[in-house]
Amino acid sequence: MSAGHLERQRSMSSSSRSVTAALMPSPPLEINNDFEPCAATASSFLFAQGSTILVLHHDTLAVDRKFDFHTENILFIAVDNVSESGAGRLVVSYDTSQTAIIWDIFTGQEIARFASFELLRVASWMRNGNIAFERV
């Protein structure tokens, strides 16, 4: 085991494992949107209205672009402001149908589309250009 990867293991009998799994129902999928999905780059402010993302110019708040990639309401938006490859250019958005879309803010081109099996609540870009998602 390397020093950077610590792992815990718990020993359980097979009977206690099956009882625990049977007694623990999955939590209900409750979407609580107290905040509107939004993000910002050095020159743009992005926010969602239903299934549409509006890109506004930072200084004037004039609408620069409008993206209609999603078919359901958008839950969150995250801009890549940390990696050299993204540099405020790449955006990921995620909707209630559990679809994440990565797109280029300058060209409007869809780069990738993912479907998740579980409800996600947040995405964060890493310095190497990868995205980390976190579920409920």
- pLDDT of amino acid 39: 93
pTM greater than 0.75 (yes/no): no
Give the pLDDT score at 6.
Answer: 47
pLDDT in tens, the chain (136 residues): 444 544 444 445 455 444 444 555 545 555 566 788 999 998 999 999 999 999 999 899 999 999 999 999 999 999 999 988 778 889 999 999 999 999 999 888 999 999 999 999 999 999 998 999 998 6
Written as one letter, the residue type at 35 is: F
The rounded distance, in Å, linking the Cα atoms of 41 and 80 is: 8
Q: Selecting from 2.130.10.10, 3.40.50.720, 3.40.630.30, 2.10.109.10, what CATH number does the domain 33-135 have?
A: 2.130.10.10
List b or e across 14-30, with b for residues whose CB sees 16 or more CB atoms inside 10 angstroms: eeeeeeeeeeeeeeeee
Rounded Cα distance, 62 and 54, in Å:
10
All structural domains of the chain with their residue ranges: 33-135
Tokens of 58: 């930072």
